[in-house]
Amino acid sequence: MSSNTENQRISFASVKNPMKYPDFLEVQLKSFQDFLQLDTPPEKRKNDGLYKVFAENFPIADTRNNFVLEFLDYYIDPPHYTIDDCLERGLTYSVPLKAKLKLYCTDPDHEDFDTVIQDVFLGPIPYMTPKGTFVINGAERVVVSQLHRSPGVFFGQSIHANGTKLYSARIIPFKGSWIEFATDINNVMYAYIDRKKKLPVTTLLRAVGFENDKDILEIFNLAEDVKVNKANLKKIIGRKLAARVLKTWTEDFVDEDTGEVVSIERNEVIIDRETVIEPEHIDMIIESGVQNILVHNEEANSSDFSIIFNTLQKDPSNSEKEAVLYIYRQLRNADPADDVSAREVINNLFFSEKRYDLGDVGRYRINKKLNLDTPMDVRVLTKQDIIEIIKYLIELINSKADVDDIDHLSNRRVRTVGEQLSNQFAIGLARMSRTIRERMNVRDNEVFTPIDLINAKTISSVINSFFGTNALSQFMDQTNPLAEITHKRRLSALGPGGLSRDRAGFEVRDVHYTHYGRLCPIETPEGPNIGLISSLCVYAKINDLGFIVTPYRKVKDSVVDLSPEGIEYLSAEEEEDKIIAQGNAPLNDDGTFVRDKVKARRDADYPVVTPDQVELMDVAPQQIASIAASLIPFLEHDDANRALMGSNMMRQAVPLLRTEAPIVGTGIEKQLCEDSRTQIAAEGDGVIEFVDATTIRILYDRTEDEEFVSFEPALKEYRIPKFRKTNQSMTIDLRPICNKGQRVKKGDILTEGYSTANGELALGKNLLVAYMPWKGYNYEDAIVLNERVVREDLLTSVHVDEYILEVRETKRGMEELTSDIPNVSEEATKDLDENGIVRVGARIEPGDILIGKITPKGESDPSPEEKLLRAIFGDKAGDVKDASLKASPSLRGVVIDKKLYSRVIKTRSEKNADKAILPKLNEEFEEKAAALKEIMLDKLMVLTADKVSQGVKDYLGTEVVPKGAKFNRHDLSSLDYTIIQLSKWTADAHKNEMIRDLIMNYLKKYKELDAELKRKKFALTIGDELPSGIIQMAKVYVAKKRKIGVGDKMAGRHGNKGIVSRIVRQEDMPFLADGTPVDIVLNPLGVPSRMNIGQIFEAVLGRAGKELGVKFATPIFDGATMDDLDKWTDKAGLPRYCKTVVYDGGTGEQFDQPATVGVTYMLKLGHMVEDKMHARSIGPYSLITQQPLGGKAQFGGQRFGEMEVWAIEAFGAAHVLQEILTIKSDDVVGRSKAYEAIVKGEPMPTPGIPESLNVLLHELRGLCLSITLE
């Protein structure tokens, strides 16, 4: 059966060739690839991700600059374990990160110190699986992308209590101090550094180089410099002073300690600023020796700039030096040691590349906002930035500019996995570089190497804590493929550096017009996180700066460019003010618009325009929604709230035993199945050599060149997962859908199962539904089901639970797995093997032993003599207690697998025997490695035959094969290929490419052999790798087959959810005229008020499809119309809208009214009654209050709370109430007496004092209140 035959869907899309969806996992995979850049040769790597972190932290030198540690390159070795091994053993799927470091000495006194290049192990780093997840401690996790406020400058406005508008500009850097410019109610502008230190803006301007009033006023062109003499009197008198008139002189004084003569500059204010100049002032100015003064510029609109004059009035400083001192005192609350250190502190705040970084994004945003052309590599603040921000703020005050909208997507960016990991590595490497510096300083005179300087735990501890505890590293939702893929495409505004859900207001959560095509307006959680967690739209991507972009078709002169080149991705900022036509606007074949009026969008408006005004066009109508929302057919007919529930509930659909694709789909199901990577897909073109239930082998086609440079066979084997447990205890159980000898193309899906059928997503079942009431059993959204659905396993799912028991060494001796458990009957242990693990195939009931374990229980630690005697004569049964793992009260199922992992505990003789084996393993490895190198050299000689070297170099830049020399085998065999540069071996570019691939493949294969050797040595000496302190770990997998039952939750795709209230015999269900009983009866009252009419459209079209044996694709916002429905129901010979006469199954009589009977796709959700059903008679009690615990997990009771007490009081049932509050709860003596009375058949005793009263008495005694009960 080929995967392509049955998937032909009849599409109703009017847009015939919409753009192909991008890879849905690109967000995760591309981000991680860009972080490591493993496919890029070292010399071509971008300054990004891990490479950038290394470049920023290296070179590292000691304090005297004698020794320098330089970074050359990093690489990774193959992982020790496969992904499956890690999932089974509870390990982390990681790769060893190694860096090539060079240590050299610059001090001529250390002539004996040779330059050293070494590969240094920096610790294991978790590696992303091909599915975009990380396996951490045996569990698959996803790192969710974070939506946070972009670095850059933001202009805002607030209103003071007295009604004054206050404006502010905040500069948010990538790292470093925040600076905010803000106005106050007195129209003065202040700068706030790190939100706390406040100083007038003019003080900051003086400190950064605009020393006197004249410099500051000239920035804004506010003053005129006038010479003071008799000739200019007319020009001066009556004008306002713009700056103080200062008399300046120097005084010499002798320093008492050193005897040096020191000159100090003194200032005296002759006339203050803003003074109107009178004739007497002229004399004062001339007397003081001042020759020029600054007066207000007559042309300047100084009322606009009054804030600058007001600020100068508040400015306590008169010179750069004073300003620097003032700022230093504000920041440090102390005086500086000298002027230089004060200036350095201010310089470090905003102008030092080490301490301050706007990042690419911050610089880009500032340049855009302020129309600057500062180069992108200037990532610190400049004087020009500060001036332009102040000017923009003044424009804001004068209503000549607009404040920023912080919810606009140009002001929010995405931190993807790669960036989050980079930030963690930066923290780890910064810590490591500190320790390296300290070690360099300590080892001043001895000879040391890079390995001696580096502690590998530093980085891995930071990375492990990120994956283990960070809010954005989440346990993957693995209910079905849709849940997985949605989790990987999720964007969260929460997490470190983001918002907190308590403080997030309505505006942040609301839908914004820039979300169009970027963030889904429908899919978001319903609870406190609504609007803070969202999903990427189907076509959206994330660009290099972290902004979300969406594709549009270019429109030029009323013609839409329909070619692939005509598509451009735009960010929210680039899209601003553009007129964009809708995706379903009718077009002619040449790309011109059919109509002379086009519905369009411009920011938040929806004008109707003429074709010549259109600048861009949507690529498809479904561009607006996420994957989950795009899976809902006829979404356009559903209310948004119900659509939200529908898209959220599809993620909870349980994978069914027998999967079935929907008759009415939207066309996205196939792509989702391919991109989820949950199925096995062909990696290239080839032929299937072998296929059975557990294995597929494919012989791939390869070109001659690929064959030549490869060291791997062309035949590849795939293991098909059977009954594998997911994070949510669902089952991944795949079946092959290909045949031996079948030719496959790259990307073809070869298996089905786990909510997929025939290469399409298949979350539920197509069921025949009647919308009608049925004996009150479908009141309030309840669902009536046909017994056939249960009998034929249509909605049956299999769930796998994993049970783990660990064996440790306790203080009292070693625990042991065994089937010989004290005081347990033979019947109870009949299914256990010699290790105490239950056999595969055993049926499990509540209370059965799954894994038998005994643990020592001696009162004191055994002495060495006792240990010896026990070893000789065996343990006494009384010294051990039963610590077995038993099945919980609700567990019923079948054991499908068991595993036992053990650390090797060896005697001295066994260890000696191992020592003899280890050299053999090394010899075996050396032989394989030598044979591999010979094959590589043979191939390399063929590639370099008759070629002349272009100068082959190693990492130090040393020529190892001189330029102009011919290649010979002797030279090539002596090279160390791990440190060879792989570019430009010969003058032939194609041969160079092949040489590079050959050596890369050789090194990869060599590392695989090396990893295999390490694994064998580890298995021999240590055994299975287990978490520390654990000697053995036993696992048992129990499968439970769950048929649908009363109390299970079901839903359609339109938010129409309900609980199964009754399962009715087939013959009692309503039936159609031809005798067909319906599968499910839904209440018609669930439709009108919920406004999700899409379900009726789906039911009608689904029935037509079922009758005709065809499947449909009705894309959202571009799907089937009423006319289409009529056409297909007519074709199927069905009444219009499927309003059908229905008969009562019980009496055979016709119902009064015809009902809508159609075929709807129904899902069984993860909320199953078997998981929730719970009962308790006796069980654990709380230690202090002695009341029963709460909740199913604690095997607790039902809380009888305040309101329930009122209900019983209202009935006057005093004795019932007394019993509930005492012997059924916390009357310790009373409950044991009640047990005795029940056993002996005696009358019930009178209840005693509840323990909670005793607790109260003890607490009152703690307050020195003595209370006695009479």
Compute the residue count for the chain: 1270
CA distances from 1178 to 139, 704, 1225, 1249, 1253 (A): 35, 74, 10, 19, 21
CB of 804 within 8 A of CB of 1035? yes
Angstrom distance (rounded) from CA 631 to CA 664: 10
Average pLDDT over residues 720-729: 93
**C-alpha to C-alpha distance for 990 and 947, rounded to whole angstroms:** 13
Measured CA to CA, the distance from residue 914 to residue 893 in angstroms comes to 43
Give me the percent of the chain exceeding a pLDDT of 90.
55
- Fold designation for 800-903+1024-1038: OB fold (Dihydrolipoamide Acetyltransferase, E2P) (2.40.50)
pLDDT at 1047 over 80: yes
For residue 2, pLDDT over 50 is answered with: no
Least confident of 315-329, 508-522, 979-993, 996-1010: 979-993
Task: Please work out, in degrees rounded to the nearest 5, the angle formed at the alpha carbon of residue 175 by the alpha carbons of 171 and 177.
Answer: 55
| CATH number belonging to the domain at 39-134+420-472, selected among 3.90.1100.10, 3.90.79.10, 1.10.600.10, 2.60.40.1180 | 3.90.1100.10
Least confident of 504-508, 1064-1068, 1138-1142: 504-508
**pLDDT tops 50 at residue 3:** no
Of residues 573 and 867, more confidently modeled: 573
> How confident is the model over 406-411, as a mean pLDDT?
92
Alpha-carbon span 137 to 469, nearest angstrom: 13
Q: How confident is the model at residue 7 (pLDDT cuts 50, 70, 90)?
A: low
**At 243, phi and psi to the nearest 5?**
-140, 155
**Whether pLDDT at 186 is above 70:** yes
Task: Reply yes or no on whether the pLDDT at 1162 is more than 70.
Answer: yes
- Residue 5 pLDDT level (bands cut at 50, 70, 90): very low
Please give the pLDDT value at position 197: 82
Overall average pLDDT of the 311-338 stretch: 84
In the structure, what pLDDT confidence band is assigned to residue 302 with cuts at 50, 70 and 90?
A: low
Q: At what angle do helices 1094-1108 and 1122-1131 cross, to 10 degrees?
A: 30
The answer to whether 583 and 571 have CB atoms below 8 angstroms apart is no
Taking 60 as the threshold, does the pLDDT of residue 333 lie above it? yes
- 609-667 tens-digit pLDDT: 999 999 999 999 999 999 999 999 999 999 999 999 999 999 999 999 999 999 999 99
Residues 548 and 541: their CA atoms lie apart, in Å, by 6
Each residue of 486-499: b (16+ CB within 10 Å) or e?
A: bbbbbbbbbbeebb
pLDDT computed for residue 64 by the predictor = 84
pLDDT at 92 over 60: yes
Query: Average pLDDT, stretch 951-978?
Result: 75
Residues 600, 972: Cα–Cα separation, whole Å: 66
956 falls in which pLDDT band (50, 70, 90)?
low
| pLDDT for residue 703 is more than 90 | no
| pLDDT the model gives residue 300 | 53
- The pLDDT assigned to 1 comes to 31
Taking only the tens place, the pLDDT of each residue in 220-245 is: 877 777 777 766 666 677 677 777 77
Q: Which of 611, 736, 601 is nearest to 682 (CA)?
A: 736
Q: Is the pLDDT of residue 289 over 70?
A: no
Query: What average pLDDT score do residues 371-393 get?
Result: 91
Give percent helix, percent strand, percent coil of the chain, each to the nearest 5: 30, 25, 40
What's the pLDDT score for residue 1184?
A: 87
Level-2 CATH architecture, domain 152-411: Alpha-Beta Complex (3.90)
Question: Is residue 477 classed as helix, strand or coil in its secondary structure?
Answer: coil
Q: Strands, DSSP E only, in 927-1056?
A: 952-953, 959-961, 1030-1042, 1049-1051
Average pLDDT over residues 1020-1027: 76
Tokens for 570, please give them: 């735009």
Question: What is the average pLDDT value for the chain, to the nearest integer?
Answer: 88
The band of 754, judged by pLDDT with boundaries at 50, 70 and 90, is very high
Span 872-884, mean pLDDT? 73
Sequence-distant (6+) residues with CB within 8 A of 87 are 135, 138, 140
Q: Mean pLDDT throughout 1218-1224?
A: 91
Query: What is the domain partition of the chain in residue ranges?
Result: 39-134+420-472, 152-411, 800-903+1024-1038, 918-997, 1178-1262
What does pTM read for this prediction?
0.89
CA atoms within 13 A on the CB side of 379: 16
Q: How far is CA 237 from the centre of its chain?
A: 69
Reported as a pLDDT band with limits 50, 70 and 90, residue 861 is low
Confirm if 96 and 127 have CB atoms less than 8 A apart: no
- Lowest mean pLDDT: which of 467-471, 983-987, 1121-1125? 983-987
